[in-house]
Amino acid sequence: MSEGPVAPRPAGVIAALPATVPFVGPEVIERRTGRPFRARLGANENAFGPSPRVVAAIAAHAGDVWTYGDSEAFELRAALAAHLDLPRDAITVGEGIDGLLGLVCRLYLEPGDRVVTSLGAYPTFNYHVAAQGAELVTVPYRDDREDLDALAEAARAMPTAIVYLANPDNPMGTWWPRAAVEDFIARVPGQTLIVLDEAYGETAPKGTLPPSTLLRPNLLRFRTFSKAYGLAGMRVAYGFGEPGAIALFDRIRNHFGVNALAQIAARAALADADHMRAVVDKIGDNRRALAELVAELGLAAIPSATNFLAIDCGGAARADAMLKALLDKGIFVRKPTVPVLDRCIRISIGRPEQMALAHAALRAAAAETGAL
């Protein structure tokens, strides 16, 4: 008598991975607790929303969603090419930077390859590295910034497939000026791929980003419409680099992964630069107001070039208590989990009415946890 069917084993690399995800979404937390959040300030979304032109464009084309999106994202890539002063074949688009990072790891990593990043840096990149069976080597932050010297040195110490840098950084919100980033790029070995994540580039001070025309055979740069442009729910981002490297994405990407409305929305957002700049100004105003409250409460705000603020609570125990107190009060926020960074909580910048709720809850949480 033959045996019945059994569950097939996944690939060995996948079977060895823990059942984790990089982030637990606010909707998941609401379902688990049975309580809705009063203010959603933990996912670094742009609560000011997209340009009215984007909303109008989506509405105008909503009836056309029976079609697949353009598999080459031709018009969006053409618009980005004009925006970046690059040829169209130097640009690829994907389902958010998260999706593009997954493609990078599939393209460049074999099991056992060495990858360098910062301890506590954006965890979704690490998630994709693990899925390829690569070895993740981490260097600590220095003064709450990714340590460019240590990252470059680690990439030089042994053969390294990829080194990852986010500028501005998540979760701390800190940044390096253009000259420092360009020096870092020059110091990384030519055979090591540099992944430069510039998701928060639009909210950064002038002089933070190298010119978009800075391309190298071993450099890939990524930006998104999720932050300053207010399109996190559409899942659309882009990468740019030398055309030969960009062409590799076509070998494995989901050619219909960026849907039709996402492409339309991204083009409309890119065309309304005035709206984006106005939103960035609002983010800055509300971020400064939050930093002033943080100082008033005897805490410390980490200088930020992003749409969130990391708040130094003085120690990991108090940061954990502050996080719990804020969640209990219906304010969705997050915090870093690795030592040194875990003394902080991180609050996204929202609309004034959301920030008013956050300010009141932060005052109360600071008072409740002050003895820790």
Query: Residue ranges of the domains in the chain?
Result: 23-49+274-368, 52-271
Q: What is the pLDDT of residues 184-227, one digit of tens each?
A: 999 999 999 999 999 999 999 999 999 999 999 999 999 999 99
Which amino acid does the sequence have at 66? W
From 309, 318, 316, 354, select the one nearest 338 (Cα to Cα): 316
> Distance of CA 142 to CAs 23, 46, 93, 158, 279, Å?
24, 28, 33, 22, 31
β-pairing, 331-332 vs 162-166, is unpaired
User: What is the rounded distance in angstroms from the CA atom of residue 163 to the CA atom of residue 190?
Assistant: 11
Segment (H or E) for 328 = helix 316-328
- What average pLDDT does this structure show over 294-321? 97
The answer, yes or no, to whether residue 371 has pLDDT greater than 80, is: no
- Residue 255, C-beta contacts closer than 8 angstroms, at least 6 positions apart: 71, 72
Q: Residue 4 has what pLDDT?
A: 84
What are the tokens at 357?
């709720």
130-151 burial, b at 16+ Cβ within 10 Å, e below that, comes to bbbbbbebbbebeebbbbbebb
Q: What is the pLDDT of residues 120-133, one digit of tens each?
A: 999 999 999 999 99
Give residue for tokens 């207010």. 230
Mean pLDDT of the chain: 96
Computed from CA positions of residues 94, 202, 285, 343, in that sequence, does the dihedral angle turn out positive or negative?
positive
pTM (2 decimals)? Answer: 0.95
Cis? peptide before 168, omega within 30° of 0: yes
The answer, yes or no, to whether residue 1 has pLDDT greater than 90, is: no
- Provide the 3-class DSSP secondary structure of residue 170: coil
What are the tokens at 85?
């002063």
Q: Residue 17 has what pLDDT?
A: 85
Domain 52-271, CATH: 3.40.640.10
State what percent of residues in the chain have pLDDT above 70. 99
Q: What is the pLDDT of residues 90-112, one digit of tens each?
A: 999 999 999 999 999 999 999 99
The answer, yes or no, to whether residue 290 has pLDDT greater than 60, is: yes
What are the tokens at 354?
């959301």
The answer to whether the beta carbons of residues 40 and 357 sit under 8 Å apart is no
Q: Residue 353 has what pLDDT?
A: 97
Q: What is the pLDDT of residues 329-357, one digit of tens each?
A: 999 999 999 999 999 999 999 999 999 99
Q: How confident is the model at residue 22 (pLDDT cuts 50, 70, 90)?
A: confident
State what percent of residues in the chain have pLDDT above 90. 93
Computed from CA positions of residues 346, 351, 357, 363, in that sequence, does the dihedral angle turn out positive or negative?
positive
Q: Residue 148 has what pLDDT?
A: 98
User: What is the rounded distance in angstroms from the CA atom of residue 77 to the CA atom of residue 209?
Assistant: 20
CA angle 27–314–35, rounded 5-degree value: 20
Q: What is the pLDDT of residues 242-289, one digit of tens each?
A: 999 999 999 999 999 999 999 999 999 999 999 999 999 999 999 999
| Domain 23-49+274-368 and domain 52-271 have a common topology | no
- What average pLDDT does this structure show over 42-47? 96
Which amino acid does the sequence have at 269? A
**Share of the chain residues as helix, strand and coil, in percent rounded to the nearest 5:** 45, 15, 40
From 257, 243, 198, 254, select the one nearest 224 (Cα to Cα): 198
Domain 23-49+274-368 fold is Aspartate Aminotransferase, domain 1 (3.90.1150)
Q: How confident is the model at residue 19 (pLDDT cuts 50, 70, 90)?
A: confident
- Provide the 3-class DSSP secondary structure of residue 171: coil
- Residue 36, C-beta contacts closer than 8 angstroms, at least 6 positions apart: 30, 330
Q: Residue 237 has what pLDDT?
A: 98
The answer to whether the beta carbons of residues 48 and 355 sit under 8 Å apart is no
Q: Residue 359 has what pLDDT?
A: 98
Cis? peptide before 87, omega within 30° of 0: no
Helix segments in 26-165, DSSP class H: 26-33, 52-61, 74-84, 96-108, 123-131, 148-157
